Amino acid sequence: MAKANVVGVGIGFRQRGGERTREPALVVLVRQKLPIDQLALEDRIPTFLDGVPVDVQEVGELRAY
């Protein structure tokens, strides 16, 4: 959550091509997905964390009502 653009983290399923797979992953929710070269080194999200796949999913701005 300390990384720029991250709005949430959870456990879910990896998405590929906009379709949900059955592969469990740590899901990192971001306002907007950006190309890796547009992110500062400290804001890049690893593809695996302690051997667990990480999937970045764009969700936009989250608001509580």
Q: How many independent structural domains does the chain possess? A: 1
Q: Residue 57 above 80 pLDDT? A: yes
Residue 57 falls within a domain, yes or no?
no
The pTM of the full predicted model, rounded to 2 decimals, is 0.86
pLDDT of the residue at 44: 94
Residue 20 falls within a domain, yes or no?
yes
Q: Please write the tens of the pLDDT for every residue from 17-56.
A: 889 999 999 999 999 999 999 999 999 999 999 999 999 9
Q: Which range of residues forms the domain containing residue 15?
A: 1-32
Residue 17 falls within a domain, yes or no?
yes
Q: Buried b vs exposed e over 32-62: b needs ≥16 C-beta within 10 Å? A: eeeeeeeeeeeeebeeeeeeeebbbbeeeee
Residue 45 falls within a domain, yes or no?
no
Residue 9 falls within a domain, yes or no?
yes
